[in-house]
Protein backbone atom coordinates (compact mmCIF):
# COMPACT_ATOMS: atom_id res chain seq x y z
CA UNK A 1 0.00 0.00 0.00
CA UNK A 2 1.56 3.23 -1.15
CA UNK A 3 1.65 5.94 1.51
CA UNK A 4 0.60 9.54 1.10
CA UNK A 5 4.03 11.17 1.41
CA UNK A 6 6.04 11.95 -1.68
CA UNK A 7 9.82 11.84 -1.24
CA UNK A 8 9.95 15.63 -1.37
CA UNK A 9 7.21 16.12 1.24
CA UNK A 10 8.84 13.59 3.54
CA UNK A 11 12.35 15.02 3.22
CA UNK A 12 11.09 18.52 3.98
CA UNK A 13 8.97 17.30 6.93
CA UNK A 14 12.00 15.49 8.39
CA UNK A 15 14.06 18.65 8.12
CA UNK A 16 12.07 20.03 11.08
CA UNK A 17 13.64 17.32 13.29
CA UNK A 18 17.03 19.05 13.02
CA UNK A 19 17.35 22.31 14.91
CA UNK A 20 18.85 25.01 12.70
CA UNK A 21 18.37 23.01 9.47
CA UNK A 22 18.52 25.30 6.46
CA UNK A 23 16.86 23.06 3.88
CA UNK A 24 20.14 22.56 2.01
CA UNK A 25 20.27 18.81 2.64
CA UNK A 26 16.59 18.49 1.70
CA UNK A 27 17.31 20.15 -1.63
CA UNK A 28 20.24 17.81 -2.25
CA UNK A 29 18.22 14.70 -1.42
CA UNK A 30 15.37 15.68 -3.70
CA UNK A 31 17.90 16.38 -6.49
CA UNK A 32 19.23 12.84 -6.03
CA UNK A 33 15.63 11.64 -6.40
CA UNK A 34 15.39 13.56 -9.70
CA UNK A 35 18.60 11.99 -11.05
CA UNK A 36 17.32 8.57 -9.97
CA UNK A 37 14.17 9.08 -12.05
CA UNK A 38 16.29 9.92 -15.09
CA UNK A 39 18.48 6.85 -14.68
CA UNK A 40 15.42 4.71 -13.98
CA UNK A 41 13.93 5.69 -17.34
CA UNK A 42 17.08 4.57 -19.14
CA UNK A 43 17.52 1.34 -17.16
CA UNK A 44 13.93 0.39 -17.92
CA UNK A 45 14.28 0.94 -21.65
CA UNK A 46 17.89 -0.17 -22.07
CA UNK A 47 17.03 -3.04 -24.44
CA UNK A 48 15.03 -0.72 -26.70
CA UNK A 49 17.26 2.33 -26.77
CA UNK A 50 20.53 0.64 -27.78
CA UNK A 51 22.28 1.18 -24.48
CA UNK A 52 23.04 -2.39 -23.52
CA UNK A 53 26.64 -3.58 -23.56
CA UNK A 54 30.06 -2.06 -23.05
CA UNK A 55 30.85 1.60 -23.55
CA UNK A 56 33.21 2.50 -26.39
CA UNK A 57 35.15 5.72 -26.78
CA UNK A 58 36.71 6.24 -30.23
CA UNK A 59 35.91 2.63 -31.09
CA UNK A 60 37.71 1.23 -28.03
CA UNK A 61 36.22 -0.20 -24.85
CA UNK A 62 36.81 2.01 -21.82
CA UNK A 63 37.85 1.13 -18.27
CA UNK A 64 37.25 3.12 -15.11
CA UNK A 65 39.92 4.02 -12.55
CA UNK A 66 39.60 0.55 -11.00
CA UNK A 67 40.46 -1.08 -14.35
CA UNK A 68 36.88 -2.37 -14.75
CA UNK A 69 35.19 -2.38 -18.15
CA UNK A 70 32.56 0.39 -18.28
CA UNK A 71 29.06 -0.46 -19.49
CA UNK A 72 27.12 2.13 -21.50
CA UNK A 73 24.76 2.53 -18.56
CA UNK A 74 27.68 3.08 -16.14
CA UNK A 75 28.66 6.08 -18.24
CA UNK A 76 25.08 7.34 -18.61
CA UNK A 77 24.37 7.02 -14.87
CA UNK A 78 27.66 8.73 -14.00
CA UNK A 79 26.96 11.61 -16.43
CA UNK A 80 23.42 12.02 -15.11
CA UNK A 81 24.19 11.97 -11.39
CA UNK A 82 27.25 14.20 -11.70
CA UNK A 83 25.37 16.69 -13.91
CA UNK A 84 22.46 16.92 -11.46
CA UNK A 85 24.75 17.09 -8.42
CA UNK A 86 26.92 19.80 -10.00
CA UNK A 87 23.83 21.95 -10.50
CA UNK A 88 22.93 21.66 -6.82
CA UNK A 89 24.31 24.73 -5.03
CA UNK A 90 24.89 22.71 -1.88
CA UNK A 91 27.41 20.34 -3.43
CA UNK A 92 31.08 21.29 -3.30
CA UNK A 93 32.66 18.07 -4.58
CA UNK A 94 31.85 14.60 -5.87
CA UNK A 95 33.75 11.33 -5.86
CA UNK A 96 32.37 8.79 -8.34
CA UNK A 97 33.38 5.19 -8.95
CA UNK A 98 33.66 6.07 -12.63
CA UNK A 99 36.06 9.02 -12.31
CA UNK A 100 39.62 9.06 -10.97
CA UNK A 101 39.72 12.25 -8.87
CA UNK A 102 37.51 14.71 -7.02
CA UNK A 103 34.99 16.51 -9.23
CA UNK A 104 35.13 20.06 -7.86
CA UNK A 105 31.96 22.11 -8.06
CA UNK A 106 32.62 25.86 -8.10
CA UNK A 107 29.33 27.73 -8.21
CA UNK A 108 30.97 31.14 -8.44
CA UNK A 109 32.09 30.24 -11.97
CA UNK A 110 28.41 30.18 -12.91
CA UNK A 111 28.13 33.76 -11.76
CA UNK A 112 26.24 32.73 -8.65
CA UNK A 113 28.86 34.12 -6.27
CA UNK A 114 28.50 31.24 -3.84
CA UNK A 115 31.89 29.51 -4.16
CA UNK A 116 31.87 25.84 -3.21
CA UNK A 117 28.97 23.98 -1.58
CA UNK A 118 29.25 22.38 1.85
CA UNK A 119 28.34 18.79 0.97
CA UNK A 120 30.69 16.13 -0.35
CA UNK A 121 28.91 13.37 -2.28
CA UNK A 122 30.37 9.89 -2.84
CA UNK A 123 28.54 7.86 -5.46
CA UNK A 124 28.44 4.50 -7.19
CA UNK A 125 26.23 5.65 -10.07
CA UNK A 126 25.37 2.15 -11.26
CA UNK A 127 25.97 -0.77 -8.93
CA UNK A 128 25.92 -4.30 -10.33
CA UNK A 129 26.16 -2.97 -13.88
CA UNK A 130 27.04 -6.37 -15.35
CA UNK A 131 23.41 -7.30 -14.53
CA UNK A 132 21.97 -4.83 -17.04
CA UNK A 133 22.50 -6.98 -20.13
CA UNK A 134 20.66 -9.88 -18.52
CA UNK A 135 17.77 -7.78 -17.18
CA UNK A 136 18.50 -8.27 -13.48
CA UNK A 137 18.34 -5.56 -10.80
CA UNK A 138 20.94 -2.81 -10.53
CA UNK A 139 21.29 0.14 -8.17
CA UNK A 140 22.87 3.44 -7.20
CA UNK A 141 24.59 4.04 -3.83
CA UNK A 142 25.35 7.45 -2.32
CA UNK A 143 26.88 8.90 0.83
CA UNK A 144 26.91 12.59 1.84
CA UNK A 145 29.51 14.16 4.14
CA UNK A 146 29.75 17.68 5.48
CA UNK A 147 32.85 19.40 4.22
CA UNK A 148 35.53 20.14 6.82
CA UNK A 149 37.76 22.65 4.98
CA UNK A 150 36.71 26.30 4.34
CA UNK A 151 34.28 26.76 1.43
CA UNK A 152 36.46 29.30 -0.37
CA UNK A 153 38.91 26.73 -1.80
CA UNK A 154 38.37 23.48 -3.72
CA UNK A 155 37.58 20.51 -1.47
CA UNK A 156 40.52 18.41 -0.35
CA UNK A 157 40.89 14.64 -0.30
CA UNK A 158 40.50 14.70 3.48
CA UNK A 159 37.04 16.26 3.09
CA UNK A 160 36.04 12.86 1.63
CA UNK A 161 38.15 10.61 3.84
CA UNK A 162 35.74 10.55 6.76
CA UNK A 163 34.42 7.49 8.63
CA UNK A 164 30.91 6.19 7.96
CA UNK A 165 29.91 7.38 11.43
CA UNK A 166 30.37 10.96 10.15
CA UNK A 167 27.91 10.56 7.25
CA UNK A 168 25.18 13.21 7.18
CA UNK A 169 23.02 11.04 4.94
CA UNK A 170 23.29 7.91 2.84
CA UNK A 171 21.03 5.88 0.63
CA UNK A 172 20.52 3.76 -2.42
CA UNK A 173 18.23 3.41 -5.38
CA UNK A 174 17.20 -0.07 -6.47
CA UNK A 175 16.09 -0.41 -10.09
CA UNK A 176 14.25 -3.71 -9.62
CA UNK A 177 10.79 -5.13 -10.25
CA UNK A 178 9.82 -1.72 -8.96
CA UNK A 179 12.20 1.16 -8.38
CA UNK A 180 12.85 2.23 -4.82
CA UNK A 181 14.85 4.96 -3.12
CA UNK A 182 15.91 4.16 0.45
CA UNK A 183 17.71 6.73 2.58
CA UNK A 184 18.59 7.83 6.08
CA UNK A 185 19.68 11.12 7.58
CA UNK A 186 20.32 9.42 10.91
CA UNK A 187 16.83 9.09 12.36
CA UNK A 188 15.97 5.66 10.92
CA UNK A 189 15.68 4.33 7.37
CA UNK A 190 12.78 5.02 5.05
CA UNK A 191 11.97 3.53 1.64
CA UNK A 192 10.07 5.12 -1.23
CA UNK A 193 8.60 3.34 -4.27
CA UNK A 194 8.50 5.03 -7.65
CA UNK A 195 5.09 5.30 -9.28
CA UNK A 196 5.91 5.63 -13.00
CA UNK A 197 2.38 6.76 -13.91
CA UNK A 198 2.74 9.81 -11.66
CA UNK A 199 6.52 10.22 -11.82
CA UNK A 200 6.99 10.41 -8.04
CA UNK A 201 8.56 8.39 -5.25
CA UNK A 202 6.01 7.64 -2.50
CA UNK A 203 6.75 6.51 1.04
CA UNK A 204 6.07 2.75 1.01
CA UNK A 205 8.50 1.34 3.63
CA UNK A 206 8.54 3.61 6.72
CA UNK A 207 11.11 2.96 9.46
CA UNK A 208 12.82 -0.07 7.90
CA UNK A 209 14.43 -2.43 10.42
CA UNK A 210 16.09 -5.83 10.07
CA UNK A 211 13.50 -8.39 11.18
CA UNK A 212 14.25 -10.66 14.14
CA UNK A 213 14.53 -13.76 11.92
CA UNK A 214 17.71 -14.64 10.03
CA UNK A 215 16.69 -16.11 6.71
CA UNK A 216 19.32 -15.47 4.05
CA UNK A 217 23.07 -15.38 3.46
CA UNK A 218 24.46 -13.71 0.33
CA UNK A 219 27.92 -14.58 -0.90
CA UNK A 220 29.65 -15.44 -4.17
CA UNK A 221 30.96 -18.84 -3.20
CA UNK A 222 33.69 -18.60 -5.83
CA UNK A 223 35.25 -16.00 -3.50
CA UNK A 224 35.54 -18.14 -0.37
CA UNK A 225 38.05 -20.83 -1.39
CA UNK A 226 41.08 -18.62 -0.68
CA UNK A 227 39.82 -16.75 2.35
CA UNK A 228 39.62 -17.18 6.13
CA UNK A 229 38.27 -20.72 6.82
CA UNK A 230 36.14 -19.21 9.61
CA UNK A 231 33.90 -17.83 6.83
CA UNK A 232 33.19 -21.33 5.45
CA UNK A 233 32.47 -22.47 9.01
CA UNK A 234 30.10 -19.51 9.47
CA UNK A 235 28.25 -20.41 6.24
CA UNK A 236 27.94 -24.05 7.31
CA UNK A 237 26.45 -22.82 10.57
CA UNK A 238 24.01 -20.59 8.61
CA UNK A 239 22.84 -23.67 6.68
CA UNK A 240 22.48 -25.64 9.93
CA UNK A 241 20.23 -22.85 11.19
CA UNK A 242 17.98 -23.26 8.15
CA UNK A 243 19.11 -20.11 6.35
CA UNK A 244 19.05 -20.12 2.56
CA UNK A 245 21.41 -18.63 -0.06
CA UNK A 246 20.54 -15.71 -2.35
CA UNK A 247 23.07 -13.68 -4.43
CA UNK A 248 22.29 -11.38 -7.36
CA UNK A 249 25.72 -9.86 -8.07
CA UNK A 250 24.34 -6.39 -7.29
CA UNK A 251 25.22 -5.30 -3.78
CA UNK A 252 22.22 -2.95 -3.56
CA UNK A 253 19.75 -5.72 -4.45
CA UNK A 254 21.34 -8.19 -2.02
CA UNK A 255 21.47 -5.62 0.79
CA UNK A 256 17.84 -4.60 0.20
CA UNK A 257 16.56 -8.18 0.25
CA UNK A 258 18.51 -8.90 3.39
CA UNK A 259 17.13 -5.78 5.07
CA UNK A 260 13.56 -6.82 4.29
CA UNK A 261 13.82 -10.57 4.84
CA UNK A 262 16.58 -10.77 7.47
CA UNK A 263 19.94 -11.64 6.00
CA UNK A 264 23.66 -11.11 5.87
CA UNK A 265 25.91 -10.13 2.93
CA UNK A 266 29.54 -11.26 2.73
CA UNK A 267 32.30 -10.15 0.37
CA UNK A 268 35.57 -11.17 2.04
CA UNK A 269 39.17 -10.35 1.25
CA UNK A 270 41.41 -13.23 0.18
CA UNK A 271 44.98 -14.18 1.03
CA UNK A 272 46.19 -12.75 -2.30
CA UNK A 273 43.83 -9.71 -2.19
CA UNK A 274 43.14 -8.89 1.50
CA UNK A 275 41.33 -5.68 0.56
CA UNK A 276 38.55 -7.55 -1.28
CA UNK A 277 36.64 -5.93 -4.13
CA UNK A 278 34.07 -3.47 -2.84
CA UNK A 279 34.86 0.21 -2.45
CA UNK A 280 34.86 1.92 0.91
CA UNK A 281 33.54 5.41 0.10
CA UNK A 282 30.62 4.72 -2.20
CA UNK A 283 29.65 1.09 -1.48
CA UNK A 284 30.64 -0.07 2.02
CA UNK A 285 30.31 3.13 4.07
CA UNK A 286 26.84 4.23 2.92
CA UNK A 287 25.46 0.72 3.42
CA UNK A 288 27.16 0.40 6.82
CA UNK A 289 25.45 3.65 7.89
CA UNK A 290 22.06 2.41 6.63
CA UNK A 291 22.54 -1.01 8.25
CA UNK A 292 23.27 0.63 11.61
CA UNK A 293 20.22 2.87 11.29
CA UNK A 294 18.11 -0.23 10.56
CA UNK A 295 19.41 -2.13 13.61
CA UNK A 296 22.07 -4.07 11.68
CA UNK A 297 25.86 -4.25 11.89
CA UNK A 298 28.77 -4.07 9.46
CA UNK A 299 32.38 -5.16 9.74
CA UNK A 300 35.43 -5.91 7.65
CA UNK A 301 37.55 -8.87 8.80
CA UNK A 302 38.84 -7.29 11.99
CA UNK A 303 36.88 -4.12 12.80
CA UNK A 304 33.49 -2.48 12.92
CA UNK A 305 33.38 -0.73 9.54
CA UNK A 306 31.95 2.45 11.08
CA UNK A 307 35.22 2.86 12.99
CA UNK A 308 37.46 2.99 9.92
CA UNK A 309 38.71 6.23 8.41
CA UNK A 310 39.47 5.71 4.71
CA UNK A 311 42.94 6.60 3.46
CA UNK A 312 42.29 6.87 -0.29
CA UNK A 313 39.34 7.79 -2.51
CA UNK A 314 38.94 4.44 -4.25
CA UNK A 315 40.06 2.25 -1.34
CA UNK A 316 38.65 -1.27 -1.33
CA UNK A 317 37.45 -3.14 1.72
CA UNK A 318 36.12 -6.55 2.71
CA UNK A 319 32.45 -6.15 3.62
CA UNK A 320 30.17 -8.14 5.91
CA UNK A 321 26.86 -6.39 6.55
CA UNK A 322 23.34 -7.14 7.68
CA UNK A 323 21.50 -8.89 10.47
CA UNK A 324 23.11 -7.97 13.82
CA UNK A 325 23.26 -11.41 15.42
CA UNK A 326 24.61 -13.02 12.24
CA UNK A 327 27.37 -10.40 12.06
CA UNK A 328 28.13 -10.90 15.77
CA UNK A 329 28.54 -14.68 15.25
CA UNK A 330 30.73 -14.11 12.19
CA UNK A 331 32.95 -11.68 14.09
CA UNK A 332 33.37 -14.12 16.96
CA UNK A 333 34.32 -16.90 14.54
CA UNK A 334 36.77 -14.72 12.57
CA UNK A 335 38.35 -13.42 15.80
CA UNK A 336 39.09 -17.03 16.83
CA UNK A 337 40.34 -18.07 13.37
CA UNK A 338 43.59 -20.02 13.02
CA UNK A 339 44.14 -18.50 9.53
CA UNK A 340 42.89 -14.91 9.53
CA UNK A 341 43.18 -12.69 6.47
CA UNK A 342 45.93 -10.11 7.07
CA UNK A 343 44.86 -6.50 7.62
CA UNK A 344 44.74 -4.76 4.20
CA UNK A 345 47.15 -1.85 3.73
CA UNK A 346 45.86 1.61 4.63
CA UNK A 347 43.37 0.64 7.34
CA UNK A 348 43.14 3.43 9.90
CA UNK A 349 40.97 2.58 12.90
CA UNK A 350 39.28 5.34 14.92
CA UNK A 351 39.30 3.58 18.29
P1 LIG B 1 29.85 -2.28 -9.69
O2 LIG B 1 28.93 -2.75 -10.79
O3 LIG B 1 29.46 -0.93 -9.15
O4 LIG B 1 31.32 -2.34 -10.08
O5 LIG B 1 29.65 -3.22 -8.42
C6 LIG B 1 29.68 -4.62 -8.56
C7 LIG B 1 29.92 -5.19 -7.20
C8 LIG B 1 28.68 -5.39 -6.34
O9 LIG B 1 27.53 -4.78 -6.73
C10 LIG B 1 28.49 -6.88 -6.29
O11 LIG B 1 27.97 -7.29 -5.06
C12 LIG B 1 29.85 -7.41 -6.57
O13 LIG B 1 30.50 -6.46 -7.36
C14 LIG B 1 29.82 -8.71 -7.31
O15 LIG B 1 31.10 -9.18 -7.45
P16 LIG B 1 31.39 -10.70 -7.86
O17 LIG B 1 31.08 -10.80 -9.32
O18 LIG B 1 32.84 -10.89 -7.56
O19 LIG B 1 30.53 -11.59 -7.02
MN1 LIG C 1 29.07 -1.18 -7.10
MN1 LIG D 1 29.21 0.86 -10.22
Number of folded domains that form the chain: 2
The ligand 1 site (C-beta within 6 Å) comprises 68, 97, 124, 127-129, 220, 223, 249-251, 277
What is the per-residue pLDDT across 220-252, written as a single tens digit (0 to 9) for each? 999 999 999 999 999 999 999 999 999 999 999
Which residue's CA lies nearest to atom 18 of ligand 1?
220
Whether residues 189 and 336 fall in one domain: no
* Domain containing residue 239: CATH number: 3.40.190.80
Residue-level pLDDT at 111: 61
Residue-level pLDDT at 66: 78
Looking at the CA of 251, name the nearest ligand: 1
Domain boundary among 152, 180, 205: 205
Whether residues 182 and 114 fall in one domain: yes
Whether residues 137 and 231 fall in one domain: no
What's the 21 CA to ligand 1 centre distance in angstroms?
A: 36
Asked if residue 2 belongs to a domain, the reply is no
Q: Is the pLDDT of residue 69 over 90?
A: no
Whether residues 28 and 128 fall in one domain: yes
Atom of ligand 1 nearest to the CA of 129: 2
Whether residues 184 and 232 fall in one domain: no
Domain boundary among 177, 205, 233: 205
What's the 294 CA to ligand 1 centre distance in angstroms?
A: 23
What is the per-residue pLDDT across 6-58, written as a single tens digit (0 to 9) for each? 999 999 898 877 777 788 899 999 999 999 999 999 998 877 777 777 888 87
Which residue's CA lies nearest to atom 12 of ligand 1?
249
Residue predicted with more confidence, 51 or 60: 60
Whether residues 237 and 200 fall in one domain: no
Asked if residue 96 belongs to a domain, the reply is yes
Which residue's CA lies nearest to atom 2 of ligand 1?
128
What's the 130 CA to ligand 1 centre distance in angstroms?
A: 8
Residue-level pLDDT at 112: 59
Whether residues 221 and 194 fall in one domain: no
For the chain, give the percent of residues with pLDDT over 90. Answer: 77
Average pLDDT over every residue of 158-165: 97
Asked if residue 102 belongs to a domain, the reply is yes
Q: Is the pLDDT of residue 1 over 60?
A: no
* Domain containing residue 118: CATH number: 3.30.540.10
Asked if residue 41 belongs to a domain, the reply is yes
Asked if residue 211 belongs to a domain, the reply is no
Looking at the CA of 39, name the nearest ligand: 3
| Residue ranges making up the domain that contains 189 | 7-205
Residue-level pLDDT at 4: 65
Q: For the chain, give the secondary structure using H, E and C.
A: CCCCCEHHHHHHHHHCCCCCCCCHHHHHHHHHHHHHHHHHHHHHCCCCCCCCCECEECCEECECCCCCECEHHHHHHHHHHHHHHHHCCCEEEEEECCCCCCEECEHHHHCCCCCECCEEEEEEEEECHHHHHHCCCEEEEEEEEECCCCCCCCCCHHHHCCCHHHCCEEEEEEECCCEEEEEECCCCCEEEEEECCCCEEEEEECCCCCCCCCCEEECCHHHCCCCCHHHHHHHHHHHHCCCEECCCCCHHHHHHHHHHHCEEEEECCCCCCCCCCCEHHHHHHHHHHHHHHCCCEEECCCCEHHHEECCCCCCECCEEEECHHHHHHHHHHHHCCCCCCCCCCCCEECC
Whether residues 56 and 113 fall in one domain: yes
Asked if residue 126 belongs to a domain, the reply is yes
Q: Which of 65, 248, 277, 322 to mutate to test the pocket of ligand 1 (most atoms within 8 A of CB)?
A: 277
What is the per-residue pLDDT across 93-141, written as a single tens digit (0 to 9) for each? 999 999 999 999 988 876 655 678 899 999 999 999 989 889 999 999 9
Domain boundary among 205, 234, 250: 205
Q: What's the chain's average pLDDT?
A: 93
| Cα 285 from Cα 317, distance rounded (Å) | 10
Which residue's CA lies nearest to atom 6 of ligand 1?
128
Asked if residue 1 belongs to a domain, the reply is no
Which residue's CA lies nearest to atom 11 of ligand 1?
251
Whether residues 30 and 154 fall in one domain: yes
Whether residues 165 and 275 fall in one domain: no
Q: Which of 67, 68, 128 to mutate to test the pocket of ligand 1 (most atoms within 8 A of CB)?
A: 128
What is the per-residue pLDDT across 289-298, written as a single tens digit (0 to 9) for each? 999 999 999 9
Whether residues 91 and 119 fall in one domain: yes
Whether residues 195 and 343 fall in one domain: no
Looking at the CA of 125, name the nearest ligand: 3
Amino acid sequence: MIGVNTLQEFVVARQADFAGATGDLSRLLTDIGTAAKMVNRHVNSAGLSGILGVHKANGNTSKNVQGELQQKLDVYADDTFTRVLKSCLKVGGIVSEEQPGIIHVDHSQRGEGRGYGKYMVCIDPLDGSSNVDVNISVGTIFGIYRRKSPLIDPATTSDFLQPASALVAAGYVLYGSSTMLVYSTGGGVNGFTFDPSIGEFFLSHPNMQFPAEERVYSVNDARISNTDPAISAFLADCRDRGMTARYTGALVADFHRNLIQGGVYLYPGSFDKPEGKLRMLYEAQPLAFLAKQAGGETCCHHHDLLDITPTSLHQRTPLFTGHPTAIARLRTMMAASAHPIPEPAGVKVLR
